[in-house]
Amino acid sequence: MIIIRPIRANDYSDLENIAVESGHGFTSLPVNEELLRNRIAASEASFAKNVTKPGTESYLFVMEDTKTNKVVGTSGIEASVGLTDAFYHYHLGKVVHSSRELNIYKSVDTLTLCNDYTGVTEICTLFLNKSHRKNNNGRLLSRFRFLFMAQHQKRFADRVIAEMRGVSDDQGRSPFWDWLQDHFFSIDFPTADYLTGIGKKQFIAELMPKYPIYVNLLSDAAQAVINKVHKNTVPALKLLQGEGFSRGGYVDIFDAGPTVEAKLDDIRTVKQSDACQVIIDEVDEQSQQFLICNTKVKDFRATAAPLLHRETANQVVISQQVADALGVEKDDWVRIVSA
């Protein structure tokens, strides 16, 4: 059975393997033991914390295959970004040069360094091992976060974003960063990406151009990838678009990948989820599939399973196996949404 749960300290080895497999461009999981262990510790503290409003909490979940007791994926939520470290993006804008006398009108796209997303909630750190990219596991690993957020809304901001991985090759070279490197930096993309991942972001403020960049001055290769996603990220982008996320006019400062955003209350899974009381009984395996989670924080569990939803009574019939996986009993409350 596949379940989602908060990460634990003894998951370190599995998390390190995920960090290695994720490769270049996956900034939130640098291959660095101290940083990964700190990430786990921060997550454990966040799940244990009594929260009344979003702060610096960092929630890291793992997907576990109970047949092997191995972690096969990870997914995270940052409650409120940019409160302790600057959170940079480029804003896509326009500058118009015109002269009525000369009958000239020219609109030029620009990139302006900003911190506009400070204080919003970010979903992040989504990665699933190749061995388990099947049976809609990827959808579960992404969407369950919205069930958690729907159940515990006071822990999160009313605006949610996701940074989409931009275009880079198998060696970690980004066409967009190549142009920045040639003109403003002396470090390659994997190095810049790694430094950001381990929290060393001061170089961004020190070396990034302070004034808007005219897009038409960039190389053709750099212009071509602005607001585009990595080929492996296309499914994740489509899933979020199906949830109501859209491009907000901001891109990553390293690879120019798009950032998508949505109001928390407008996210499809949040809007369509229902809180139900549990009935434990036999369930036909051909019954409709739902995503289901318990209502806990520290002992949060989620999975996908066939169940019977009695909408008018706010009840859900689940099997004993699913109840055990979620850590719930008869008459406990759960949150569900159609898979």
Q: Are the beta carbons of 168 and 231 closer than 8 angstroms?
A: no
Q: Residues with Cβ < 8 Å from 108, sequence gap 6 or more?
A: 94, 95, 96, 97, 214, 215, 216
Distance CA 202, CA 206 (A): 6
Question: Can you read off the two tokens belonging to residue 183?
Answer: 């003109």
Q: Are the beta carbons of 292 and 307 closer than 8 angstroms?
A: yes
CA angle centred on 143, ends 141 and 145, rounded to 5°: 85
**Which residue in this structure is represented by tokens 């998390």?**
15
For residue 115, the one-letter residue type is N
Provide the angle, in degrees to the nearest 10, between the axes of the packed helices 175-183 and 189-197.
Answer: 90
Catalytic residue among 91, 97, 152, 230: 230
Catalytic residue status for 152: no
Question: Can you read off the two tokens belonging to residue 222?
Answer: 């750099």
Other Cβ atoms within 10 Å of 93 Cβ, number: 14
Beta bridge partners of 123: 77, 162
Question: Can you read off the two tokens belonging to residue 280?
Answer: 């434990």
Q: What's 155's DSSP letter?
A: G
- CB neighbour class for 107 (10 Å; exposed up to 12, middle 13-18, buried from 19): exposed
Q: Which residues are catalytic?
A: 230
